[in-house]
A = this chain, B = another copy of it.
């Protein structure tokens, strides 16, 4: 009887993987990971050079990505079928082997493995290994504390409405904005409305080759950064000497 081990890989630099995750990745005989069709996949790229000889790879290729609107019934049906099928295959594999599933960042923090996690409940033994969340890799890249003292940190997704973004950006010491991608213009407008644009950083490919750390106000409108997180640093509200 095997189990399904979801390894949080951390922010991207393989050296920032946990000792436990690195051991599982190196020892894995069966290893699965999500990717877009025709792409190597970010998770697989992080473990390049680490896999054991003879390890069997299972790329879980999304049936669609941006070709079909993500709120259409077709899209939801296709993706649901895809997760159902892979949950089934992983359960079969785990009946007599351990299977490692790769996950960028920390699996329990906005991780796509959760679509499988829900479907695997009660059907296989699951182990999840925590990773450094992508945001933590990014705030380390700037080399400043994201929060100290009584700072409030708010994590937002660029997918929220502009109104909600503005309201929440006005009302937090530190900000982390995930899922920027095609929402970056909206995020920038919201930060400007909230009076926080001058303090915002964009970190693209944090801790990875090609890392870029820039002030968001210096990013060109036509620029479309990949794997990017936007950060606004806290000011160490009521920080005490004891901390």
What residues make up the interface of A, taking CB atoms closer than 8 Å to B? 10-11, 13-20, 22, 62, 65, 70-71, 75-76, 78-80, 83, 106-112, 114-115, 117, 128-133, 136-137, 139-140, 143-157, 159-160, 168, 172, 207, 236, 238, 240-243
Residue numbers in B under 8 Å from A172 (CB-CB): 154
A151 to B19 CA separation, bound complex (whole angstroms)? 30
Cβ contact within 8 Å between A144 and B16: no
Cβ contact within 8 Å between A16 and B16: no
Cβ contact within 8 Å between A238 and B159: yes
17 A–B pairs (Cβ distance < 8 Å), ordered by A: A16-B129, A17-B18, A19-B22, A65-B242, A70-B241, A70-B242, A78-B241, A106-B132, A110-B148, A111-B148, A117-B145, A130-B137, A130-B140, A131-B132, A151-B157, A152-B156, A152-B157
Residue numbers in B under 8 Å from A20 (CB-CB): 13, 15-16
Cβ contact within 8 Å between B15 and A19: yes
A137 to B106 CA separation, bound complex (whole angstroms)? 10
A241 to B112 CA separation, bound complex (whole angstroms)? 9
A160 to chain B minimum Cβ distance, whole angstroms, is 6
Cβ contact within 8 Å between A132 and B242: no
Cβ contact within 8 Å between B108 and A241: no
- Shortest 9 CB-CB distances between A and B: which pairs? A79-B241, A153-B155, A15-B20, A130-B140, A108-B145, A16-B18, A114-B145, A76-B241, A70-B242
A214 to chain B minimum Cβ distance, whole angstroms, is 19
> Whose C-beta in chain B lies nearest to the C-beta of A76?
B241
Cβ contact within 8 Å between A75 and B15: no
Cβ contact within 8 Å between A109 and B147: yes
Cβ contact within 8 Å between A136 and B150: no
A8 to chain B minimum Cβ distance, whole angstroms, is 8
Residue numbers in B under 8 Å from A207 (CB-CB): 130
> Whose C-beta in chain B lies nearest to the C-beta of A20?
B15
Cβ contact within 8 Å between B241 and A106: no
Cβ contact within 8 Å between B160 and A155: no
A65 to B243 CA separation, bound complex (whole angstroms)? 10
A17 to B23 CA separation, bound complex (whole angstroms)? 12
> Whose C-beta in chain B lies nearest to the C-beta of A236?
B114
Given A18-B132, A19-B14, does the pair A79, B109 have CB atoms closer than 8 Å?
no
A144 to B117 CA separation, bound complex (whole angstroms)? 9
